[in-house]
């Protein structure tokens, strides 16, 4: 028996942590008595797990300590600042890092557009997929280092075929190959130095199915089977 679309979305939000406390408690109670919902939640956990490594560490701004110290000192001059600040900063880091993973996962699971941050981001992730519930590869990009990696989520080419990654942008004209990608292991870091950072950030990334070893003529052999756009996950 298939799960209704609303419950499928609810399962994804439960895994992403976007539900409020009451909604989360209700879903937790339902999954104990509804095997289909429980299975959907487990599937989303497995599907989104690779994205947890995509978010870089996020550190608090340097002025945060002084602001917290001033507020705590005014409220309670004898409070142990070291222990209190350590606990609060640890919670702040955990929350900030979780927000980065959540942004990437939301793009894969729910197709939500993530608003750009005021500062220019440098770390990006793209989920290459057929649809919101069919992620195939997770691509991470470091614009400063001009490097990217590709991690398989759920993709395996047919016998005798290879997946090839392409960068597509109006400024580039025809699609440009970024190489054959391994559907069974993390592809090593590759260079993007041939492309302007603005092109890298705004491009569409596509995967085509090619003869084993890649396209024989430097052009895609057919329509893309997986596509994605970069979203920022760090400053």
Tens digit of each residue's pLDDT (9 = 90 or more) over 40-88: 888 887 777 666 555 555 566 667 667 766 766 555 544 454 554 455 5
Instruction: Tell me the pTM.
Output: 0.50
Residue 102 belongs to some domain of the structure: no
- Domain total of the chain: 3
Do 175 and 82 lie in one domain? The reply is no
Do 127 and 230 lie in one domain? The reply is yes
Residue 107 belongs to some domain of the structure: no
Residue 104 belongs to some domain of the structure: no
Residue 184 belongs to some domain of the structure: yes
Do 36 and 84 lie in one domain? The reply is no
Tens digits of per-residue pLDDT, 4-31? 767 877 887 787 777 787 888 888 888 8
Tens digits of per-residue pLDDT, 87-101? 554 554 544 444 445
What sign for the dihedral angle of Cα 206, 232, 132, 99? Answer: positive
Q: Binning pLDDT at 50, 70 and 90, where does residue 167 land?
A: very high
Token pair for 110 = 């729910």
Q: Binning pLDDT at 50, 70 and 90, where does residue 184 land?
A: confident
Last residue of a domain, one of 45, 75, 95: 95
Q: Which of 112, 66, 64 is nearest to 89 (CA)?
A: 64
Choice between 190 and 149, residue whose per-residue pLDDT is larger: 149
Range of the domain at 18: 5-53
Tens digits of per-residue pLDDT, 80-138? 545 544 555 455 454 444 444 554 555 555 443 334 334 556 788 888 887 666 778 88
Token pair for 108 = 């894969």
The secondary structure element, H or E, covering residue 81 is helix 81-109
CB 47 within 8 A of CB 151: no
CB 140 within 8 A of CB 148: yes
Do 19 and 79 lie in one domain? The reply is no
Q: What is residue 90's predicted lDDT score, i.e. its pLDDT?
A: 53
Token pair for 133 = 């519930």
Residue 132 belongs to some domain of the structure: yes
């Amino acid at each position: 028996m298939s799960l209704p679309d609303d419950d499928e979305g609810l399962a994804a939000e439960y895994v992403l942590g976007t539900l409020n406390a009451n909604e989360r408690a209700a879903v937790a109670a339902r999954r104990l008595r509804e095997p289909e919902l429980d299975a959907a939640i487990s599937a989303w956990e497995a599907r989104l797990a690779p994205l947890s490594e995509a978010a870089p560490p996020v550190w608090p701004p340097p002025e945060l300590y002084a602001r917290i110290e001033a507020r705590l000192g005014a409220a309670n001059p004898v409070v142990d600042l070291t222990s209190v600040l350590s606990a609060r900063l640890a919670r702040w880091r955990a929350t900030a890092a979780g927000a980065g993973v959540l942004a990437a996962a939301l793009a894969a699971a729910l197709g939500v557009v993530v608003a750009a941050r005021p500062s220019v981001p440098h770390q990006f992730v793209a989920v290459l997929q057929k649809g919101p519930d069919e992620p195939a590869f997770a691509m991470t990009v470091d614009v400063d280092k001009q490097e990217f990696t590709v991690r398989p989520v759920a993709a395996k080419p047919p016998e005798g075929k290879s997946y090839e990654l392409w960068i597509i942008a109006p400024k580039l004209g025809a699609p440009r190959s970024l190489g054959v990608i391994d559907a069974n292991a993390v592809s090593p870091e590759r260079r993007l130095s041939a492309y302007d950072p603005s092109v890298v950030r705004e491009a569409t990334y596509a995967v085509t199915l090619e003869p084993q070893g890649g396209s024989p003529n430097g052009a895609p052999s057919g329509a893309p089977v997986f596509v994605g756009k970069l979203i920022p996950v760090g400053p």
